[in-house]
Amino acid sequence: MKMRIAGAAIAILLTTGIAAPAQAADDAAVRKDLFTVITLQGLPCGEVVSVTTKAENDHIASCKDGNRYHVFLNAAGRVVVEKQ
Amino acid sequence: MAHARLVTIALLVLVAGCATVASPPTGESPAKAAPPIAKAPAKPTAPPPATAKQQSIASRVAPPAPPLNLATLVERLKGTNAIGVLTKITLKNQVDDLLEDFRAYYSGTIRTPLAELRRSYDMLVLKVLSLLQDSDPSLAAAVAASRDAIWGILSDPAKFAAI
C-alpha cells in the first residue's frame, strides 16, 4: 500500500515538476510574442501581463498599463491588433 | 525499505533536474547569461565608449558575416526561435506592404520618393535586427550584412521585377 502511495506521489511530482515549468515557458513565450506584435503595430502596452487564448492565433492580451488588445490572425493572413 | 530510499533519491534527482530546466523563464539569451570570463577577452579590443555610442545596432551585432541571398535569409528567419509565430507573420505583413509600395512606385501609381521607401526599408531592417540581436546574434549579423544587397535588389527596377 505504501509503495502505491509512493508511486502516486512520484507520478504527481513528476507531472507537476516537468509540465508546470514547460507551461510557464510557453506562457512567457506567448506573452513576449504578443507584446512584440502590439509594439510593432505602434500601440502602447509596456508589458503583457496576462493572456486569454480564444483559439489558435487568437488571443486577448492585457497590458501592464491597463490596455487590452485582441490579437488575431484574420482570414487574409494578416495579424490584426484591436484595442478592446 | 531499500526501495523507498532509492525512490527518494531518484525523486530528489528529478526535482533538482526540473529546477534546472525551469530556471531561465524569461528566455534570456545565452549571451546575456554568459559568465564574465567569456566577456573578458573582448575588453582589450573594445572601442572607447564615445565610439561605441555612435555605432548603429547593425554594427554592434555584426561580427563579419557574408551577405545571404534572399531565399536563404527568408528560410533562416522562418526557422529562428528568436521570434514568435505572430511576430513573424506581422513582419511578413510589413515586408509585403513595403513590396507593394515598391510595386506602386515602379508602376507610377504613387509619387512617394525613393528616399521615403529607403527610410521604410531601414526601419523594417532595424525592427528585425532589434528582435534578433539578443536571441539569434548570428542571424542578426547575417541580416545586417545583407542589408545593402537587399536594398540593391529593391532599388533596381529590373532586379525587383525578377523577385
Dig out the grid coordinates for B50 from the structure.
Answer: 564615445
pLDDT in tens, A25-50: 668 899 999 999 999 999 999 999 99
Domain encompassing residue A45: 2-83
pLDDT in tens, B109-133: 988 899 999 999 999 999 999 999 9
In this prediction, does ipTM exceed 0.85? Answer: no
List the strands of the sheet with A79-83, edge to edge: A48-55, A58-63, A68-73, A79-83
Tell me how many domains chain A contains: 1
B contacts of A36 (beta carbons < 8 Å): 83-84, 86-87, 90, 131
pLDDT in tens, A60-80: 999 999 999 999 999 999 999
Please tell me which residue of chain B has the smallest CA distance to A2: B4
The backbone torsions φ and ψ at residue B112, rounded to the nearest 5 degrees and listed phi first, read -60, 130
Dig out the grid coordinates for B67 from the structure.
Answer: 551577405
A contacts of B26 (beta carbons < 8 Å): 28
Please tell me which residue of chain B has the smallest CA distance to A79: B90
In the three-class reduction of DSSP (H, G, I as helix; E, B as strand; rest coil), residue B27 is classed as coil
